[in-house]
Amino acid sequence: MAAERNESALAAQQRAVAAQARVSRARAFFFPELTATGTYTRRPNQTTREVGGQQVIIQRYNAFGANLVARMTLFDARGFPLYRAAKRESEAAGMESVEARRQVSFEAANAFLITLQEQQVFQAAEQRIAFARQSLADAQARAKGGLASTNDVTRAEVEVATAEVELISARNLAQTSRLELGFLLVEPVEGALAAPQQLLEDAARPLDTHDSIIPGAVERRPDILAGQLRVESLEANAWEPLARLLPALGVSATYRLTNEQGLAGRTGDGFLAADLTWNLFDGGERYAERHERVALARAAELELEQGTRRVDVDIQRARVALENARAALTQSELATRAAKQNAEEQGILYRQGLSTALTLADASLRLFEAEVALARSRYSLGVALLGLRAAVGLDPLGKEP
């Protein structure tokens, strides 16, 4: 949905369409041009002459004329590099459109995972406040029965208030992340979101199982391919100033129609002409433009080399992030199980008078923090896998764009 609706992807697609139009314009250089013009002239006087005993109208009151001119360039060396440059530029724009769709897809995928994460944090906050309210009820009952002091009730009330603040914060973050996801999808996000189990299962697999997608990353990355095509376009464009050293040969045909026969007695006349244009000296402009375009092509080539070298760094950083995320998830799962068991035990002990309200509140806080860390770790693992797929030139689903 994001790739099809988001304005960034659509704008890149329109730029590709514009680049293709420039190819058509460059191709028009090799085709003939046909021009038709018509004129009407109103004169205050009419001019006649006697020729061979007949009156011939030289100029009429109302004169009509039409010209048809066909022209074709037989040879102009500039057209070839300009056409090649436009074609490579169009191909580069097409690759950039693919890359824009890919990046928008990753943005939407990341936003989707973050939305799920914040929803789970919100659920953890709801569980915390429910636990805090139950603890408050227990503290009030024990204090009423003389089994605990009012300090326990006060401590439980503070825990409830703190849990309510966390709940409000978690709810606002969940709503904000949902709005961001809707912005990327260009459509409001309603209802519950289903966790992408396949992605999360793939992310949880051993790290070396993902190494098979790394080879060929440079050849797959649309941004690298677009950079290569753009360099070729700039190199072709750099040859155009040198092409001006050669002469241009053209041919034209003109046919004229009029209602004034004149002394020649013809209403139609035409001619064919050939012209050779050779710009022998232009003040050095062509050489200056050549040097400028060569420098721009070289600069683009250097940037491409840097971007190509960066691919390996991106892949290694993504692998490290994926490995760290797997380790963090394992630790979070262990911590959550321990915190849940501790909270349950402290609740039982408190109701039996063997624990304090402070210890119970601390156990509740530790459980909440562990559940939040687990939610973040679970979906951070998915984000890490998306990062690896982005680095090797795949789409969020692990396919070639």
- Residue 313 binned pLDDT confidence (cut-offs 50, 70, 90): very high
- Residue 250 binned pLDDT confidence (cut-offs 50, 70, 90): very high
Q: Give me the residue label for tokens 């326990």.
A: 152
Residue 145's pLDDT is what?
74
* Residues 148-159, mean pLDDT to the nearest whole number: 77
The neighbour count for residue 299, using CB atoms within 10 Å, is 12
Residue 148's pLDDT is what?
65
Question: What is 1-392's CATH superfamily?
Answer: Outer membrane efflux proteins (OEP) (1.20.1600.10)
Q: Is the pLDDT of residue 400 over 80?
A: yes
**Does residue 42 sit in helix, strand or coil?**
strand
Lowest mean pLDDT among 190-194, 271-275, 350-354: 350-354
* Residues 241-261, mean pLDDT to the nearest whole number: 93
Tell me the chain's radius of gyration from C-alpha atoms: 39
189: exposed, middle or buried (Cβ count in 10 Å: 0-12, 13-18, 19+): middle
Q: Are 64 and 259 in contact (CB under 8 A)?
A: yes
Share of the chain above pLDDT 90, in %: 66
Residue 129's pLDDT is what?
86
Q: Is the pLDDT of residue 142 over 90?
A: no
Cross-strand pairs, 149? none
Residues 345, 339: Cα–Cα separation, whole Å: 10
Task: Copy the structure tokens of residue 372.
Answer: 């939040």
* Residues 20-40, mean pLDDT to the nearest whole number: 95
Residue-range domain boundaries for the chain: 1-392
Residue 146's pLDDT is what?
73
- Residue 147 binned pLDDT confidence (cut-offs 50, 70, 90): low
Residue 18's pLDDT is what?
97
Mean confidence (pLDDT) of the chain: 90
- Residue 54 binned pLDDT confidence (cut-offs 50, 70, 90): confident
Residues 400, 15: Cα–Cα separation, whole Å: 22
- pTM here? 0.83
Span 68-127, pLDDT tens digits? 999 999 999 999 999 999 999 999 999 999 999 999 999 999 999 999 999 988 888 888
Q: Is the pLDDT of residue 155 over 80?
A: no
* Residues 195-202, mean pLDDT to the nearest whole number: 92
Lowest mean pLDDT among 61-65, 111-115, 285-289, 339-343: 339-343
End-to-end CA distance of the chain: 15
More confident residue, 57 or 396: 396
Q: Is the pLDDT of residue 152 over 80?
A: no
Pairing, β 62-75 against β 54-59: unpaired
Q: Give me the residue label for tokens 């890149």.
A: 12
Lowest mean pLDDT among 66-75, 338-347, 351-360: 351-360
More confident residue, 251 or 59: 251
Residue 270's pLDDT is what?
92
Lowest mean pLDDT among 264-268, 297-301, 333-337: 264-268
Q: Is the pLDDT of residue 357 over 70?
A: no
Who's near 133: CB < 8 A, 6+ residues apart? Answer: 160
φ, ψ of residue 38 to 5 degrees: the values are -130, 145
Residue 53's pLDDT is what?
74
Residue 141's pLDDT is what?
81
Q: Which stretch of DSSP H or E encloses residue 49?
A: strand 47-51
